[in-house]
Each structure stands twice: as C-alpha cells, then as structure tokens.
Structure 1
Amino acid sequence: MSESTSLRDQFLISMPHLDDRHFSRSLTYICDHSEYGAMGIIINRPAGMLVHDLFAHIELDYSRIAIDPMPVFKGGPIHPDRGFVLHRDDGRRWLSSHAISQEIRLTTSMDILEAMALGKGPKDCLVALGYAGWSPGQLEQEICDNTWLSCPANSDIMFRLPAEERLQAAAASLGVNLQLMTAHAGHA
C-alpha cells in the first residue's frame, strides 16, 4: 500500500445506515493503515468517566492541580482496558509514542498520564480506552460497501469541539450533512 492510498491521519465517518453498537454514529481517527490492516481511535464516544476518575483508578495523585473535566473516550472494542493518548506534538518525547503525522502523536506509556496529573501534559489531548482495528483489506472493503466516508483529519475538530459535534463537523468538511442522508444502504 502506498502512502497516497493509506488512510493514516484521516477521519472515518460512519454512514447513517451503519447499525453496529461500537461504530454507529462514530468518528474514528485512523492512526495506522498499511497492508497489515488498520488501527484507529473513536473520538466522539465518551466512556462515562472523566480523566481524573481514570487517575484515581490507576492511583495517580492529581490533587496538586485543578484538572478541567475532560472525558475519557471509548476508543474502540479492542483492548478496552488499555489506554491511549492522542495529542498534538509539542516537542516532548514520551516513553512509548508514535508519530502519526507531523502534528499528531499517539502515546501509550504511563509517563504522559503522570505528566497530565501534574498539569504538565500536552495542552491538546484526548484519552481513550480501547481501539478499533481492521484486518488486511477489511477497511477497504467496508469503504467499498459504503459503510464509511473518509476525509483528512482536522485537529481542531478532534481537540477543540465538544464530542457530540465532531461527527457532523467532519462530515461538513466534505460538504455532507449526515442528517439529510438515508439510513438505508444502496448502490447505484
């Protein structure tokens, strides 16, 4: 797969007819896409807990700073017990961090959470539990089956908009209003 056909650093917008408890009305940020498959983080599905709840659960002391209420997201159905932090690259390096683009990194090491608990983490970030994954060729087939739209990722949508506005904002970047689309799949 060439760099030009990769969906890395793209948004996947679920089509209205997608009836799946994990992916219905989801916006997924694709972190990796190659001949080996694809991996992404759902960025618009809050998990019902806040980051400071996660800190308390993993016994990180966050009492020295005031933490804005930031939701933890359900990143996908695979390894929902594993944490991921999507963030803008601010030049700092974390123990286990992967550059997705020049602007965005995915970090899985505890040091970033420790820094966040001290108020020294990345300014723009998103914490998720679990991820979405596709086997080789699966995502390409789902796109051919009209399950997903894709568009270039936008970090302002990812980090600045409320979760409930992200899906429609990504679709609008393509000139699409999902509310005007039918919930029934079809092929012309």
Structure 2
Amino acid sequence: MNDKIHMSLKGHFLIAMPGLLDPNFSRSVVCICEHTGEGSLGLVVNRAYPTLLSKDIFEELGIDYLPEKADIPIFFGGPVHMDELFILHGPPFDWGPSVIIVPSLAMSNNRAILEAIALGKGPDAFQITLGCSGWGPDQMESEMMENAWLSTPLSRDVIFDFDVDARWEAAVRKLGIDPARLTDAAGHA
C-alpha cells in the first residue's frame, strides 16, 4: 500500500529559481496544466520564439487566416512533444477536447481552435505553444526540494496581460518577493 499523499500543483505556476541553469527552463514560468501521481505536464508562458509566427503554423497546416492574425507569436512550451501545438486559453471552452486547468483557463490541442484563432473567432485570450514540459512521477517534487522551482497559484494576468519579458518578475512578485532579492541559496531548518 502506498501511504504517499499526492498534492496536485495543477493550476499553479512553477517559477524557475535563479540557480536553475537548464537552458530550457532558465528564468521560466511554467503553467502546470496537469499534475497527478503519474507525472506532470505544463507550458512555459514566458518564452516566445524570436522568428516563428502564427502565419508559419497556419501555412504549414493549410489553415486560412486573416492578415491581421499572421503575426501572433508562437511560444516555446517546453522540450517535450516539440512537434505538437498546445493552446492555453480563456473561455469559451467548446473547441473540442480541452483540459480545464482552472475555471477561467484551459489547454486545448486541436485544429478547431487554431482555425477559429486564424479567422479571428477564437477565444479573446490565448497563447499558442509549440512543445510542452513534462515530469515523471515525483520528478517535479524532487526538483522543488532541490530549490530549482518556486510555486504559486497561477494568475491569468501574468500570462495574458504582461509583456513576455516581464512575466518571470511578475510571477515572482505574486509571491510577495522582490525578484532582485531572490537568490538560489537554499535554507533548510
């Protein structure tokens, strides 16, 4: 019998500590979309590809798009499933199968929502990501114990209202911490 109690971090941000040097996650903010005893899945919300835009995705998939929808940034969601698109979005949630993360945020991975976005009929708030972040059983918890990550309940405004370059600092401030004072030194009692 497994006596371990699992606390889910679904609906939280993982915020990379300054000492996390992995180039995939340095100064990253990850929205945890699913977290069970089998592992975790999240999307990095503060790393846009410098040259990849929505028109590139729409054209590759043969999706018609309005000219004003051609320059939507595409985000690096993480180093897993780098050939898959994930859309982090607010309501409505009727685009086909979606994972509801919190009542005001979902993750979808289907063509219907992409087609709607391309024609200006998608959700008002969304982020298109290529790839995702994944952790095996207990891996994320272990990394947190090693002082690689902080966590806080997610905040839609960090994802949708802050400039990409300001999201890490905004997420840290949600914890009541001045980012300039944050170090990678761990304290243990």
Is TM > 0.5 for Structure 1 vs Structure 2?
A: yes
**Partner residue of 1:24?**
26
Q: Counterparts of 1:8-157 in structure 2 under 5 Å? A: 8-48=10-50, 49-63=52-66, 66-67=68-69, 69-90=71-92, 92-157=93-158
Over the residues paired in the alignment, what is the CA RMSD in angstroms? 1.7
| Mapped partners of 1:26, 1:127: distance in 2 | 16
Could you say which residue in structure 1 is the equivalent of 2:168? 167
Give, in angstroms, the shift of residue 58 of structure 1.
1.7
Amino acid across the alignment from 1:165: A
Query: What SS does the corresponding residue of 2:27 show, helix, strand or coil?
Result: coil
Of all paired residues, the percent bearing the same amino acid is 38
Q: CA deviation at 1:180?
A: 2.4
Per-residue deviation, residues 128-177 of structure 1 (Å, max 9, x unmatched): 00000000111111111110000010001111111111110010011112
Residue 6 of structure 1 is matched in structure 2 by 8
Preserved contact between residue 16 and residue 178 of structure 1 (Cα < 8 Å):
no
Q: Return structure 1 stretches of 4+ with deviation > 3 angstroms.
A: 184-188
Query: What TM-score do the two structures reach when normalised by structure 2?
Result: 0.91
Distance in 2 between residues matched to 1:15 and 1:179, nearest whole Å = 12
How many pairs were matched up? Answer: 184
Distance 1:141 1:72 in 2: 30
Shift of 1:2: 6.4
| Structure 2 unmatched ranges of 5 or more | none
Q: For residue 176 of structure 2, what is the amino acid of its counterpart?
A: G
Q: Give the letter for the 2:57 counterpart.
A: L
**In structure 1, distance between residues paired with 2:59 and 2:178:** 40
Distance 2:5 2:76 in 1: 30
What secondary structure is seen at the aligned counterpart in 1 of 2:177? coil
Gaps of 5+ in 1: none
